[in-house]
Structure formats: C-alpha cells, structure tokens
Chains A and B, each alone.
Chain A
Amino acid sequence: MESKVIVVTSGKGGVGKTTATASIGAALALEGKRVAVVDMDIGLRNLDVVMGLENRIVFNIVDAVNGKCKIQQAAIKDRRVENLFLIPASQSDNKDALSPESVRRFSAELRKEFDFVFMDCPAGIERGFENSVAAADEAVVICTPEVSSVRDADRVIGLLYARSVTPKLVVNRIVPEMVERGDMLSHQDVVDVLSIELIGLVPMDDQVVVSTNKGVPLVMQKGSKAGEAFHRIAMRLNGRADLPIEIPQGQKSFWKKIGLKIGVGK
C-alpha cells in the first residue's frame, strides 16, 4: 500500500486538532496499519501528554530531521496500541528549527516506514503551518460550529488549495441539543459556508477530557461517542468512503420519543 501523509489543521487553536490526531491515528493502528503521529508544534508540544507518552521522550523530531538520531530512535512506540508511533516535538527549539524543505525530506523517509503519517499542525498560518503542510498529500481540517473557528478554517482551506492539498472537513464538538434549538450552527451550515467535502461529525463528549486526563487513546475509551466518531473518520481515510456520516443526536426526552412514534414533531 502506498503510504499517505495527512496534515491535521484548523487555523484556530483549541478546536481539537491534537485530540483528533491522536484518536484517528490510534484508530488506524488498531485496524492494523502502521501509523506515525508527528507533533509539529515545536516549542509547545502536547501530543505526547494527550497520548500518555510524555515520560518516554528521548529524541524528538528536530533531532531526527537534523540527523542526530534515526527515525526509529525518535519514534516512541505506544505499548497499548500496536503499530502506533509518536514522533514528539522539541520543547526547547522554535519553529525555525525546521523548514518545509527539511520536513519534505524527512517525510520521504517516514513514508518508507509507515502506512499513515499524521502531522499535528500548530495553530496559526505561519512557519509551523508551512512546515506541516509541506509534505502532505491530504488535509483534515478541524472546525467547531463557531464563527471564529469557521472563519479561520476558511482561511486555512484557501491556503491548502493554493498548495494543491485537498482538504476534508471534520466538524467537532457538536452539541445536538443546541443545534436543535437553533443556538448552534448545524454541520450543514458549516458545510454550506466552507463548501468542502465532509469526512466526519464529532459530538461534544465529556469523555475527551477524561481520556486526556488519563493519557489513554479516546478510541479505546468504551462508550465514548466522540471516540466512535473519530474511529469512523479513520475508516473513511482508510478508503471506506462509503461509510455513512452519522449526525450526532441529542438525548430525546420521554415525551419527544412518544411524539416521534406517533409522528408528531421532529
């Protein structure tokens, strides 16, 4: 199988890029793919704590790119999920430690070792973004149903197209009850505005905080709706484009359920 380099990006910070990267990566590894997740946020690394691998860092991506260590030394193997590897960011350098050219060279090496390489892009559209998209075949754009996030996503989508990278959209942190009330943009509204291909809808889920607290992959957390959604996104990235996209549903009240049964209300 030809390996794929996918950048996970959003423009705005704090919309769930790192959680998405960790979850989708873990889901694909559970499917038996060899997966590397790369933290591109040099100076502000976080993917390691989200994945619970912060105690095992020896080398980082800057070392690997500059040839101070081998890829195999920098890639930390996840002991719970076979075939999942993390290449952590450096905490002491800044974004200029890498260049798009050096990342391209490094990615060519990664392609030989892994089926999927996920680049966890830092927020913003400066150097860190340039480095992260340099070698990408595809992009996953994470967006929450808020005006600020959608606006930044639109900007990033424009930049991705300019670099001939096809973006696919994930709408994260959907609160179905608020959408129903008309107090939150629906996924359809977001798609209307951004007009790119949708690849998944993720509901707001308390389990995200819980699994991050523990440093356990979200997709291994039983009963996590967000985890299931990320799992389906991973499947779609793995060629299962036919998998239907589930729209997050709120808890229906007793009366509403009856209403639905007898065909009143929606």
Chain B
Amino acid sequence: MFNGFLRKLLRTQETTSKDLAKKRLQFALIYDKLEVSDDTLTALHRDIVEVISRYFEFDQNALKLDITRCEDLSALVVNTPILSAKRRNRTLKHACTP
C-alpha cells in the first residue's frame, strides 16, 4: 500500500500510460475517419495562410489548425490572432497574391 501511495504521489505530475493510450487512440480515430494525411494538413495550412493574408495582417506562425471532435461531429478549427485588416482595393489584393 505504501509503495502504491508513493507511486501515486509521484504519478500526479506524470501522465499514466493509459492516458497516453487514450489520447493516441482518439487522434488515430480522427485521422482514420478523415483520412487526412500530414501532407494534406500542411498544404491546407499553407493555403489558409495565403487566403487570410490577402485580407489581414497577421502572424503566420501563430496560426493554429486543429481538428477537434465532439460526439459524432468533427470540426476544423482555425485560430489566428489578427494584427490589422488590410485595405481592400484591387491593387493591394493583387500585390499580396504570390
């Protein structure tokens, strides 16, 4: 019992192997269902950055792309801090397109 108690004390910070298993499983299932490869995600990230940068001034490295699942629904969540809006006129728009 004391061994168990000590272990429990030490384990409070450390995640247990089953927590790791659960997390890995949940991600595996999400990716299985969406059949989204890492390459696709990177490409999507690049495209989203490109589109947003036409309209907004923002930190490209801070853009976060997440696929979350609750119940039976999956959602693609794009989160990005925006520094300022770009003035939308044609010249600017064209200037920003690579």
CA distance A185 to B26 in the complex (A): 12
B29: which A residues are within 8 A, CB to CB?
151, 154, 193
Task: Name B's interface SS.
Answer: helix
Q: How far is the CB of B17 from chain A (nearest CB, A)?
A: 5
Q: Which residue of B5, B71, B72 has the most chain A CB atoms within 10 A of its CB atom?
A: B5
Closest to A151 in B: B28
Q: Are A185 and B28 in contact (CB under 8 A)?
A: no
B32 within 8 A of A: yes
B38 within 8 A of A: no
Give the segment of A1-9, A176-184, A206-214 that binds chain B.
A176-184
Known A154-B29, A155-B32; judge A182-B21 contact (CB<8 A): no
**Measuring CB to CB, which residues of chain B are less than 8 angstroms from any residue of chain A?**
1-2, 4-5, 7, 11, 16-19, 21-22, 24-26, 28-29, 32, 71-72
Query: What's the A-B contact tally at a CB cutoff of 8 Å?
Result: 48
Q: How far is the CB of B94 from chain A (nearest CB, A)?
A: 46
Q: Are A184 and B25 in contact (CB under 8 A)?
A: no
Q: How far is the CB of A204 from chain B (nearest CB, A)?
A: 15
* 0/1 string, A133-157, CB within 8 A of B gives 1: 0000000000000110011001100
Q: Are B1 and A256 in contact (CB under 8 A)?
A: yes
In the complex, how many residues of chain A place their beta carbon closer than 8 angstroms to a beta carbon of chain B?
A: 22
Q: Are A147 and B24 in contact (CB under 8 A)?
A: yes
Contact of A185 among B5, B11, B22 (CB under 8 A): B22
Q: How far is the CB of B23 from chain A (nearest CB, A)?
A: 10
Q: Are A193 and B26 in contact (CB under 8 A)?
A: yes
Q: Are B18 and A189 in contact (CB under 8 A)?
A: yes
